[in-house]
Amino acid sequence: MTSHSPAPPAPAPGPLPAQGPEAGGLTIAIGIATAGRREVLAETIAFLARQTRPADRLLICPADPEADLDRAGLEAAQPGSAVVRAPRGLCNQRNALIRAAGEADLLVFLDDDFLPCPDFLAEAERLFRAAPEVVMATGTVLADGILGPGLTFAEGLAALEAAGPAPGDAPVEVYNGYGCNMVVRLAPVRGQGLAFDEDLPFYAWLEDVDFSRRLAAHGRIVKSPRLRGVHLGSKRGRSPGRRLGYSQIANPVHLLRKGTLSRGRALRQMRRNLLANAARAAWPEPWVDRRGRLAGNLLALAHALTGRLSPGRVRDMS
């Protein structure tokens, strides 16, 4: 999403604060929901060991605890990490991560194919300590494989290494966090009983927007140029085209009815996806099931006209 008016200037970067609650810092948990990406997840978990400010807890919530996760590799790469159980579905899994985070101050939601810069957690702690009114921060994505065939791990590392030092720019206000990397202050989440919408099944298209807009009632949502990383955009484990196409229509309508997505944004979301799928259906990209997505779009529109539109209908689709 595009950002809105700039936030007040942040304090100039100085020495990093001491780590951990015992030194006056914040307790930080990383939460990763994953499905169908065992090898990608293993690389990401190993990469997280490079953080200059280690996470206090690493929580992994696999859709299938046996197929999606190498437990021995996880313990070797990140001793003391925890495996969290939940029904399959991004919102179910992320809600389980919130519960498992306990009394942590911050929960960093990362996709299983997001590679954060080594100073990501240190910068997150700095930001949330300096700005207590911030309830969510999302980072700057240096390269995003979701826009193409996806990036290999080596390509992601190269993009990180080419980025250079973080700029000193202040955070800016944004409408919502980007689901691949969202740092959430848990106090208002616990205090208000906030959760991801489990009526958005499986891939849960726009779940980040819905959660962000409900959390926005309790503080600021910002995008920080100092929180940086690369989203590989792995195509493994993605929803089938027809199911995703249906969600591209049904989910914006659901959020519009809830009041967490404005009419203008909902219409732009639906129009952009419908036009892209229709325009490319005859000559689709090799990594995108455009025809399946278009079929899902059209089915959702038909259900909208007959009063049967519901995000949950994707549960019956392959």
Whether 148 and 258 share a structural domain: no
The span from the CA of 234 to the CA of 146, in Å, is: 7
Q: Give the pLDDT of residue 177.
A: 97
Whether 189 and 249 share a structural domain: no
Look at residues 231, 261, 284 and tell me which one is the last residue of a structural domain.
231
Q: How confident is the model at residue 6 (pLDDT cuts 50, 70, 90)?
A: very low
pLDDT tops 90 at residue 13: no
Q: Give the pLDDT of residue 14.
A: 35
Residue 112 lies in a domain: yes
Look at residues 202, 231, 260 and tell me which one is the last residue of a structural domain.
231
Are 57 and 30 in contact by the 8 Å Cβ rule? The answer is yes
**What is the helix (H) or strand (E) element at residue 303, kind and residue range?**
helix 290-305
Q: How confident is the model at residue 1 (pLDDT cuts 50, 70, 90)?
A: very low
Whether 210 and 283 share a structural domain: no
Whether 210 and 292 share a structural domain: no
Q: Give the pLDDT of residue 79.
A: 82
| Nearest residue to 122 via CA among 181, 170, 54, 183 | 54
Residue 43 lies in a domain: yes
The span from the CA of 318 to the CA of 310, in Å, is: 16
> Strand 57-62 vs strand 82-83: parallel, antiparallel, or unpaired?
parallel
Residue 215 lies in a domain: yes
Q: Give the pLDDT of residue 24.
A: 62
CA distances from 144 to 34, 49, 52, 190 (A): 18, 22, 23, 31
Residue 317 lies in a domain: no
Helix, strand, or coil (residue 275): helix
Taken in order 213, 311, 98, 237, the sign of the CA dihedral is negative
Residue spans of beta strands (DSSP E) within 175-254: 181-185, 220-231
Residue 123 lies in a domain: yes
What is the tens place of the pLDDT at every residue in 225-253?
Answer: 999 999 999 887 667 899 999 999 999 99
Whether 177 and 289 share a structural domain: no
Which residues sit opposite 185 in a β-bridge? 106
Query: What is the percentage of the chain residues whose pLDDT exceeds 90?
Result: 81
pLDDT tops 70 at residue 4: no
Residue 4 lies in a domain: no
SS3 letters across the chain: CCEEEECCCCCCCCCCCCCCHHHCCCCEEEEEEECCCHHHHHHHHHHHHHCCCCCCEEEEEECCCCCCCCHHHHHHHCCCCEECCCCCCHHHHHHHHHHHCCCCCEEEEECCCEEECCCHHHHHHHHHHHCCCEEEEEEEEEEEHHHCCCCCHHHHHHHHHCCCCCCCCCCEEECCCECCEEEEEHHHHHHHCCCCCCCCCCCCCCHHHHHHHHHHHHCEEEEEEEEEEEECCCCCCCCCHHHHHHHHHHHHHHHHHHCCCCHHHHHHHHHHHHHHHHHHCCCCCCCCCHHHHHHHHHHHHHHHHCCCCCHHHHHHCC
- Residue ranges making up the domain that contains 199: 25-231
Q: Give the pLDDT of residue 74.
A: 87
Q: Give the pLDDT of residue 237.
A: 61
Whether 70 and 201 share a structural domain: yes
Rounded to the nearest 5°, which phi and psi values hold at 293?
Answer: -65, -45
- Number of folded domains in the chain? 2
Provide the 10 A C-beta neighbour count for residue 71: 13
**Of 169 and 307, more confident:** 307
What is the tens place of the pLDDT at every residue in 255-285?
Answer: 999 999 999 999 999 999 999 999 999 999 9
Whether 165 and 296 share a structural domain: no
What is the tens place of the pLDDT at every residue in 78-128?
Answer: 888 999 999 999 999 999 999 999 999 999 999 999 999 999 999 999 999
Whether 169 and 194 share a structural domain: yes
Residue 236 lies in a domain: no
Whether 44 and 189 share a structural domain: yes
Give the pLDDT mean for 195-218: 96
| Nearest residue to 176 via CA among 217, 209, 220 | 209
How many CA atoms within 13 Å lie on the side-chain side of 219? 20
How many CA atoms within 13 Å lie on the side-chain side of 232? 24
